[in-house]
Homo-oligomer: A and B are copies of this chain.
Amino acid sequence: MAKVTTESAPQPRIPLSRDRVVRAAVGIADEQGLAALTMRRLAEVVGAEAMSLYYHVSNKEDILDSIAEYVMQEINDVVDKLDKGPDWKQAVRARILAAREVLLRHKWAPAVFETRKNPIPPVLRYHDGLIGLMRAGGFSNDLCHHALHALGSRALGFSQELFDAGDDEGPPPDLAQLPNLAGMLMEVVHDDPDSTIGWCDDQFEFEFGLDLILDGLERRR
């Protein structure tokens, strides 16, 4: 993704296009977060007025649909190159972890996915691929269906954490009232000396939860 700041060069010669608008939108979200993605800011980056955007996209929802689709296509491109191998679990696991890597470059994407009400076409394509792997591994169609629900957003590589475990603002919680949590934290933090701030290893926890589900599916196969 091109640096947003260099996009608004002195030469606004490049004509506007739907594609350029979408790419710029992804760039803004990547670099400055979803909240920074406003029609006016987007227009600025692309060297035009906000109203001009409406000639190329129908509205902001359209833009959000498009950037979600853009990221999913990136995931499909990566994932299509993976070779499948004979083991369904290895294949599914590799696919999901590869998807996760893409999403880590577009941290805003899950939030956008969640607000889409119509299915994003390349997500269906992604799921179709997963089903293919599971079918080849001997899953019934029914089990595939349950598996997709059970994986939920994990199928795309993101797990829904309840809050960022690394922010410390506001008063620290009263651990005296939370004996079990306090005990757990003491022990877990003690075991891992890197415990300055974000003391949870997201990648490890993601794989732990994923394997829990995949192992469970294996047993129900």
Interface residues of A (CB under 8 A from B): 111, 113-114, 116-121, 123-125, 127-129, 131-132, 135, 141-142, 144-146, 149-153, 155-156, 159-164, 167, 169-170, 173-174, 177-181, 183-184, 187-188, 191, 200, 205, 208-209, 212-213, 215-217, 219-220
Contacts and interface: CB of A to CB of B under 8 A. Distances in A.
A23 B127 CA distance: 41
A160 B152 contact: yes
Majority secondary structure, A binding face: helix
13 contacts: A114-B114, A117-B164, A117-B167, A118-B170, A121-B173, A124-B173, A135-B183, A142-B191, A146-B209, A149-B209, A150-B209, A152-B159, A212-B220
B159 A149 contact: yes
Contacts of A212: 150, 212-213, 216-217, 220
